[in-house]
Structure 1
Amino acid sequence: MVFTKASLSSLCNTLNLWKKASIRWLNTERSLWSLSLVFVISSALYLIYFVHPVDIFHQQRQKQVDVLRDLSSKSTELEENQTGKGNVEMLFQGNQILEITLNACRNAKKSLSFSLEKAKEIRQMATTLNVKLELCEKQRRQEKQKSEDLTRIFNEEKKLIESNVTLNREFFDFWASTMRNTPYKGVEEYVRYSAVRLRLSPLVNVIKLKTELGPVMNDVLSFNYPISVSRCQESAIGNQSVFLAVISATDNFVKRQMIRQTWLRHFGTAHAELGMKRFAFILGMADDNATQKSVEEESKKFGDIIQIGMSDFYRNLSLKVAALFNWLYRNCDKIDFVFKVDDDVYVNVRNLAHFVHSFHNRSTNSIFGVSAVNLRPARGGKWNITFEEWPWNEYPPYFFGPAVLMHGSAIVPLLASFQTTPIMPFDDIYYSGICPAKVGIHVRFSTDSSSVLAMNLRGTPSPCELRRFISWLTVSGSHMNDSHVATSNFYSNVTQCIFADNAAANPSEPVQFYFR
């Protein structure tokens, strides 16, 4: 039986009516029997209408609860299954997010590490730059102090020279007259006299090679070289090197070609043990465009010309020699020997190599040549010099100019002397007589029968003559060619040098050279 809300309401109403009727009846009869009967009827009604339906209701309610519980359980299981699947998906997505985050962290770590390394490098660079800046600042202060010292010295020297320059012409003439035909007293007197005569003032903004030599009067470090050869390479340890410089006039094309066809061939092949053999013709500028163009074409063809941006005439030879020394200073400062010759000189390359090997370790600050015989100045002719230019009655000892050997260590001192010694027109007197005394260069003159230069071999040299000389002066192209043939024949054993005892000289035996 299923109780609805309406049936329960009807049952309750019936019971209430029964209750009221029973009370009224009890009030009238008031007997024990009646009371018992009422109790029995009430109990029966209670059992029929209330107790039994309630049990049925509870049973049905319990079934409904069980059904709901089963449904709830299944729903829970379904939700749990769906939740599990969702959790797996969420875990998978979370794992992906974690991996992305981890990769991002790794990349960020790498980037941070890289940034830290860069920061470290930047700190190191900054430290290095700070050190360099400190060094630069220190050098700047030193340079400033040096500049101030040089300026002070310059001003003092300028005042000294300007005080000399202020000498009036009458006093200079008187001074010159007192020295006329007197003995030469040395380079210092020459410098003072020439500075006043030429009204020289110290040059500004010129680097001094040797500050102790006094004010700079000649700018010998700023020559221009329109045509040049490659700079020297250092020779191997134990080998000696030599630079052979031929002083030539721009229009002496034939003489240069004769040298290329004669002794220069020996220079390129003989005595390969020389670590380095360099060669160049030394020219000034041509007077006309046609000659200059020919010189440029010659240089392109042979590659053996150094041209100096200066006028090329005889009384400018001292400046030309200074320009050669400047080129050597800047391009061949490690050279062992320099052999300067004129373009009418034949060079015995074998004897040059013997000399270089014999004297390379005992020639520091030395130059070698043949002493000039006549030291008296000429007052007329090609080598004329006036009393105003040279008031003294003699020159200092000097070399004949056609051939002079110089140790490489003498280049810079002589160039420094050129800076501070007024130029004179005769190069051999200037660079081998006047300037060496200012810087302590040893001037070594050939003695005995062997020599750096022979001046009087008018004809073809004999085998015994040519083996004694490093070079000799020639008087013509045929003389140059004959000298070459004679030299080639001697060193090829075609001809021989026979001594007084009929013994023959060994061409490969080194010749001994002696100097005072």
Structure 2
Amino acid sequence: MVTVLRLRIGVLLLSFAIVVYVSLGAFQTDVTHGIHDAFIRNHSQFYVQPLNTYVNSTNIIRSVQNEQMWLSDQNFTVIQREFYLYLASRLRDTPYPGVENFTRYVIAQSGLKPLTGVKKLRPDFGPVLNDVTFYRYPIAIQSCQSRIFSNNATTLFVAIISAPSYFHKRKIIRQTWLRDLKMRSDLGSVNLVGYAFVVGLPENEEIQKQIEEENETYRDILQIEMIDHYYNLTVKVVGLLNWMNDYCSQVDFVLKIDDDVYVNTKNFLTVIRILNASEQSIYGSIVDSPPLREGKWYISWDDWPWSNYPMYFSGAAVILPGCTIAPLLAAAQTIPYLPFDDTFLTGLCTSKAGIKVRDSYWLFVAWVEDVPNPCDVYTTVTWLTVSVEHLNRSHWATKDFYENLTQCILEESDGTNRTADPMEDLVFSFSV
């Protein structure tokens, strides 16, 4: 009899917990994690300490310690931590339930209060979780809006995500594929309305001085007021979206590219000529990887209890139509941050904003030979490089192929061989 009674009590408690969890999902009042939500707190060893060090030396940026972390109020049912962990354990290794349920889960996990005084970019997107418009830019480039004019050329902005100390990478990019892209723009193949190397704040003043000197020479640095660290890449990308939304939102396309990626400009321009700038889609190469529980891309079961991520792109190379910038930024305002910017932006924010994720394998290839072979050059739009030397060799291999100094030999379906025509425009198809 006692056992049956205990069992009934247990069932009642579990039913109550489920009701609480569901009611949190239905709750429509704004909820927040503070300026950078639970992600920043969970990774404070990567964010708070270096940021405070830089604050003390330069007074450029406010301390994260001054950001108010709200406590739960009367709108929330407080769940005892042990009971919450029990509930969370029931989700472990289950299929990813969608962005709205992810958001509800993190809200239940943190139990925090709304961030007040922040204007909603899209009221229909729900609670404001992050202040995505507070960013400052110690070094900025000119607005590209004045260079967007009506002609037959597609307008393009290139955002190159770079680390503060990677001076040699930025130098070789200026000398290789970026120079080639600017030449093609001068010839009318595209209207390159702007480009920038996007960096955060370094952890010491000497590198900051070098960045300022670099910018005096090239005028192509966009510096975001946040400590530049791998686990802050999401914050960095959202800062880029905010700047784009203010100063370059009317552009047809944005190429967001990492500084260790080589761009085959001929194939890239072939791609954007076939894309529709008014379509609510983004373009890239899908990553098929489960959440990893160890190594560089580790995420805990507590932070991500599910067995899979949503479909997302490698963040190393993504094409964004300008019309997607505002909805992506609005989505970022309402979704808890993840430390992985590609999963956050192209997996979670796209879903929230109703933006299609359109995949092509050849848009980004993660590995090519030390000296890319002619057929890699012929068929690939962008590829990862492992060093400055690899990037430079990629440029010369590309140049040799298009100047017909090297050939790509292709095998036809009937078993015969043919030599690829370097001037041929390939058809890069995307999933629908």
Q: Percent identity?
A: 41
Asked if 1:214 corresponds to 2:126, the answer is: yes
CA displacement, residues 141-193 of structure 1 (integer Å, 9 cap, x when unaligned): xxxxxxxxxxxxxx960599854462232332122111111111100110011
**Cα distance, 1:497–1:165 mapped onto 2, change above 3 Å:** farther
CA deviation after TM superposition for structure 1 residue 236, in Å = 2.6
CA deviation after TM superposition for structure 1 residue 206, in Å = 1.5
What residue number does 2:288 align with?
A: 373
Q: Secondary structure of 2:391's match?
A: helix
CA–CA distance in structure 2, aligned partners of residues 491 and 388 of structure 1: 51
What residue number does 2:407 align with?
A: 496
Q: Which runs of 4+ in 1 moved over 4 A?
A: 158-162
CA–CA distance in structure 1, aligned partners of residues 398 and 184 of structure 2: 12
What residue number does 2:374 align with?
A: 463
Match of 2:170 among 256, 280, 284: 256
> Contact 2:264–2:377 at 8 Å: present in 1 too?
yes
Asked if 1:396 corresponds to 2:310, the answer is: yes
Match of 1:350 among 242, 266, 279: 266
CA–CA distance in structure 2, aligned partners of residues 159 and 495 of structure 1: 59
CA deviation after TM superposition for structure 1 residue 402, in Å = 1.2
Asked if 1:485 corresponds to 2:401, the answer is: no
What residue number does 1:157 align with?
A: 29
Match of 2:352 among 438, 441, 448: 438
Q: Secondary structure of 1:489's match?
A: helix
**Cα distance, 1:289–1:189 mapped onto 2, change above 3 Å:** same
In structure 1, the gaps of 5 or more residues are 1-154
What residue number does 2:334 align with?
A: 420
CA–CA distance in structure 1, aligned partners of residues 244 and 281 of structure 2: 16
CA–CA distance in structure 2, aligned partners of residues 196 and 240 of structure 1: 45
Bigger mean CA deviation after superposition, 467-476 or 202-211: 202-211
Asked if 1:360 corresponds to 2:276, the answer is: yes
**Cα distance, 1:264–1:158 mapped onto 2, change above 3 Å:** closer
Bigger mean CA deviation after superposition, 500-509 or 285-294: 500-509
TM-score by length of 2: 0.79
Asked if 1:225 corresponds to 2:137, the answer is: yes
What residue number does 2:67 align with?
A: none
> Contact 2:264–2:382 at 8 Å: present in 1 too?
yes
CA deviation after TM superposition for structure 1 residue 240, in Å = 0.5
**Cα distance, 1:200–1:336 mapped onto 2, change above 3 Å:** farther
> Contact 2:410–2:418 at 8 Å: present in 1 too?
yes
> Contact 1:458–1:475 at 8 Å: present in 2 too?
no
In structure 2, the gaps of 5 or more residues are 1-26, 33-71
> Contact 1:498–1:504 at 8 Å: present in 2 too?
yes
> Contact 1:246–1:343 at 8 Å: present in 2 too?
yes
CA displacement, residues 284-324 of structure 1 (integer Å, 9 cap, x when unaligned): 00100101111111111111110000111111111111001
Matches within 5 A, 1:303-342: 303-342=219-258
CA–CA distance in structure 2, aligned partners of residues 156 and 452 of structure 1: 39
CA–CA distance in structure 1, aligned partners of residues 261 and 28 of structure 2: 46
Matches within 5 A, 1:222-301: 222-232=134-144, 233-271=147-185, 272-273=187-188, 274-301=190-217
CA deviation after TM superposition for structure 1 residue 329, in Å = 0.4
> Contact 1:341–1:404 at 8 Å: present in 2 too?
yes
CA deviation after TM superposition for structure 1 residue 497, in Å = 2.4
Higher relative contact order (CA 8 A, sep 6+): 2
CA–CA distance in structure 2, aligned partners of residues 416 and 257 of structure 1: 34
Match of 1:475 among 378, 386, 401: 386
> Contact 1:460–1:486 at 8 Å: present in 2 too?
yes
CA deviation after TM superposition for structure 1 residue 230, in Å = 0.7
Aligned-CA RMSD value: 1.9
Higher helix share: 1
CA deviation after TM superposition for structure 1 residue 384, in Å = 0.9
Bigger mean CA deviation after superposition, 283-292 or 261-270: 261-270
TM-score by length of 1: 0.66
CA displacement, residues 306-364 of structure 1 (integer Å, 9 cap, x when unaligned): 00001111111111110011111001011111111111100111111111111135x61
What residue number does 2:4 align with?
A: none
What residue number does 1:40 align with?
A: none
What code does the residue aligned with 2:122 have? K
What residue number does 1:506 align with?
A: 421
Q: Secondary structure of 1:306's match?
A: strand
CA–CA distance in structure 1, aligned partners of residues 191 and 428 of structure 2: 22
Matches within 5 A, 1:80-95: none
What residue number does 1:15 align with?
A: none
